[in-house]
């Protein structure tokens, strides 16, 4: 497990995965197209640390471009792949489903084909709790059918999961599907709740809360990275196919998150209550017992501690309205 390809390497979760892999002494190749879905300058900042490392190579390119992906495989010869490149965001996918289809399904297919062509390279495939929709009993178990996605984003991620299984069935490609639950922490996307709420509190803005009872299984990014690497070790050992929830298994009302952020930031703002968006689930809740049994996944960071860590980073960062002057 010495050479790894990480797609979407300049993104939130992937940049943390890259840093951890480099810290463990692995040779890492990152692939990212620096999509302007949010400010590419933030993504450039995400990769600063990795670019200082002699064992890191960054390729600027798109997973939807099969030729770019093929070059990455031919030159870098990865021994396993972490596919984190994706068009994320539930609500925006409703307005622009075509771009989600291109990146998430076409890009995902390209990765699967490249892995097979180059000798069945084991693949960790990032997915989302959004695939469970609103009809799955809580806590969500991987055995649920996940047949009724509520958004184009969820539909494209579920389609990628199904295609991955097909490639395992036809070609014996080793795949671990990883369903992430509401990940937050340093380098988080600006359209995510923790970042949006923090900005609103520091700029006298307004928070729009979609549903009073809305709850999420907030999971700190370091715990997710632990899960990704644990799943990778399992995959390279077992060389099979399986799906794993990676969450904290403690759904918390979004209203509670707002209160925690307000206390840590020492600031507050108006909260306007609205209806739950039809593209979103009211509650997400992960049953992580399968991941725990397979590779010892056990998240350690509480929401209280995670929010504290987020605020400490955010106030120092260029992403804060204070411009790193906090």
Count CB atoms within 10 A of the CB of residue 54. 7
Given CA atoms 63, 9, 184, 220 in this order, what sign does their dihedral have? positive
Residue 169 a catalytic site member: no
Q: How far apart are CA 102 and CA 81, in angstroms?
A: 20
What one-character-per-residue DSSP string does 60-84 give?
Answer: E--TT-HHHHHHHHHHH--SEEEE-
Cα-only R_g, the chain: 19
Q: Which pairs with CB-CB distance under 8 Å and at least 24 residues apart come from 254-260?
A: 254/193, 254/209, 254/211, 254/214, 254/215, 254/216, 255/209, 255/212, 256/303, 257/193, 257/194, 257/197, 257/216, 257/218, 257/303, 257/307, 258/197, 258/207, 258/209, 260/303, 260/304, 260/307
The catalytic position among 153, 184, 220, 314 is: 153
Coil, helix or strand at residue 296: coil
Report the candidate in 166, 82, 89, 62 with the shortest Cα–Cα distance to residue 126.
82
Task: Extract the tokens encoding 207.
Answer: 């928070």
CA distances from 33 to 16, 159, 308 (A): 17, 22, 31
Residue 203 C-alpha from the chain's centroid: 27
Strand duo 56-60 + 175-180: pairing: unpaired
CA angle 141, 147, 151 (to 5 degrees): 105
Catalytic residues: 153
């Amino acid at each position: 497990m010495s050479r790894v390809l990480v797609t979407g390497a300049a993104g939130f979760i992937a940049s943390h995965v890259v840093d951890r892999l480099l810290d463990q002494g692995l040779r890492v190749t990152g692939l990212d197209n620096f999509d302007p879905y949010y400010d590419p300058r933030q993504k450039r900042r995400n990769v600063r640390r990795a670019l200082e490392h002699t064992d890191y190579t960054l390729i600027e390119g798109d997973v939807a471009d099969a030729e770019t992906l093929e070059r990455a495989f031919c030159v870098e010869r990865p021994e396993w792949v972490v596919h984190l490149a994706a068009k994320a965001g539930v609500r925006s996918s409703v307005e622009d489903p075509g771009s989600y289809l291109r990146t998430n399904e076409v890009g995902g297919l390209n990765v699967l084909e490249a892995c097979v062509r180059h000798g069945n390279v084991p693949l960790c495939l990032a997915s989302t709790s959004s695939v469970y929709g609103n009809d799955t009993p809580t806590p969500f178990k991987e055995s649920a059918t996940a047949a009724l996605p509520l958004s184009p984003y969820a539909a494209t991620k579920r389609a990628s999961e199904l295609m991955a299984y097909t490639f395992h069935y036809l070609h014996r490609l080793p795949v671990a599907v990883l369903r992430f639950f509401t990940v937050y922490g340093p380098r988080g996307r600006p359209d995510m709740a923790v970042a949006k709420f923090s900005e609103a509190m520091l700029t006298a803005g307004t928070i729009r809360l979609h549903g009073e009872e809305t709850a999420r299984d907030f999971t700190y990014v370091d715990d997710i990275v632990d899960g990704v690497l644990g799943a990778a070790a399992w995959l390279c050992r077992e060389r099979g196919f399986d799906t794993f929830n990676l969450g904290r298994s403690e759904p918390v009302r979004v209203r509670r998150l707002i209160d925690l952020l307000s206390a840590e930031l020492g600031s507050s703002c108006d909260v306007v209550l609205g209806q739950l968006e039809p593209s979103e689930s009211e509650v997400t809740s992960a049953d992580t017992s399968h991941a725990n049994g397979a590779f010892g996944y056990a998240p350690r960071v509480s929401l209280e501690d995670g929010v504290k860590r987020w605020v400490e980073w955010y106030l120092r960062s260029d992403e804060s309205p204070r411009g790193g002057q906090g």
